[in-house]
Amino acid sequence: MLEAQLKTPIWCPACNAIYHGSPLAVPDREYNVGYLAHYAQCPDCGTLFQNPMPPFHQLADFYPPNYHAATAHGLLARARHNARLKQLTPLLNGDGALLDYGCGNGAFLTWAATKNLGRPLFGYEIADQREVQKLADGAVTIVRGKPADLLDSLPSCRLITMNHVIEHLPDPHETISALTRFLAPGGAIEGQTPAADSLERRVFKTRWSGYHAPRHTVVFSRAGLHKLFDRVGLNQPAISAAFNPAAIAVSLAACTRSPERPIRRAGLGWLWWLGCATLLAPIDLLSGASGIMNFRAIRQD
């Protein structure tokens, strides 16, 4: 049955070009969740996407309780929040909410609530059941559930931030076009995501951390991300290289083990890989084909 699905023509989720071919199997090298993902590469824009795409209800099975995004805390987390808010501040001119799409436990928003941003702070995280939670004395609203559960209660937004989120969506075009309708004129969508057209992917092949298989559903190339934003009417997104040694550290660690020995993002071993990755990061940044990219797109009308 898998064979039959793999041969069916499909469309690139980024640029809508048609794809025929045999996708590449990529094992889970980080959590060993027991699902072998297959990735197709768009012949037009170079974006990678799972084929078959796992159904929405199956995605939750790919995130074990010790998943790294849920475990950041303490000083390091505060330093990360600070750096992230610094990057967002130039985009926070004018009325409208700040939406953190894929907010996890809402840690960034509850921290941001202490900075008096003078606007509603919303967060969204995927879940089976709809749940609305108020945090930071009501300053932060977290909506869990299906995307429609968020859109029902979302006000006009000045800024929608997606930090390592767009690559987890099964249908990014549908999500980004729905969110764009909530952007105030002059408002922006911004985020960070791995880049399929990277030096790091060429070097590490299926051990490249950007696959993060099977959790990454669509891994954009720079051209693919441009086309996606064009298709939703957000022209000329700005795309730039991002500094993210943790991504390189995962690629390096993946070279030393089989998928049966998952990579632990903690302890001395992890610090060693982070140190090596930090030394290599300038090559990645200066290559013109960084493994991680920042993007921002502004609604003009």
Residues making contact with Zn ion (CB under 5 A): 12, 14-15, 17, 42, 44-45, 47
Taking the C-alpha atoms of residue 4 and residue 222, their distance in angstroms, rounded to an integer, is 30
Q: Tokens 């799409």 label which residue? A: 101
CA 58 – CA 300 distance, rounded (Å): 37
Min dist CB 177 to Zn ion, Å, is: 16
**Which CB, 17 or 113, lies closer to Zn ion?**
17
Show the tokens assigned to 293. 């990219």
Q: 46 vs 96, which CB is nearer to Zn ion?
A: 46
Nearer to Zn ion by Cβ, of 6 and 77: the residue is 6
Q: Is 207 or 227 the residue whose CB approaches Zn ion more closely?
A: 227
Give the integer Cα–Cα distance in Å for 248 and 281: 8
Rounding to the nearest 10 degrees, give the CA dihedral for residues 295, 41, 57, 260. -100
Task: In angstroms, give the least distance from the CB of 23 to Zn ion.
Answer: 14
User: Smallest distance from the beta carbon of 109 to Zn ion, in angstroms?
Assistant: 33
Angle at the Cα of 257 (from 254 to 262), degrees rounded to 5? Answer: 75
Query: 159: left (phi > 0), else alpha (psi -120 to 50), else beta?
Result: beta
Cβ nearer to Zn ion, comparing 22 with 66: 22
State the number of CA atoms in the 13 A half-sphere of 200 facing the CB. 36
Nearest-approach distance from CB 134 to Zn ion, in angstroms: 40
Closer to Zn ion by Cβ: residue 13 or 262: 13
Helices (H), the chain: 2-7, 56-59, 74-88, 107-112, 147-151, 172-180, 199-204, 222-231, 245-254, 267-286
Taking the CB of residue 152, how many other CB atoms lie within 10 A of it? 12
Q: DSSP labels for 108-120?
A: HHHHHGGG---S-
C-beta closer to Zn ion: residue 42 or 117: 42
Between the CA of residue 225 and those of 160, 166, 248, what are the distances in Å? 16, 10, 21
Minimum distance from CB of 34 to Zn ion (Å)? 29
Matching residue, tokens 């709809």:
130
Minimum Å gap between C-beta 196 and Zn ion is 10
- Smallest separation, CB 211 to Zn ion (Å): 17
User: Of 17 and 276, which CB lies nearer to Zn ion in the complex structure?
Assistant: 17
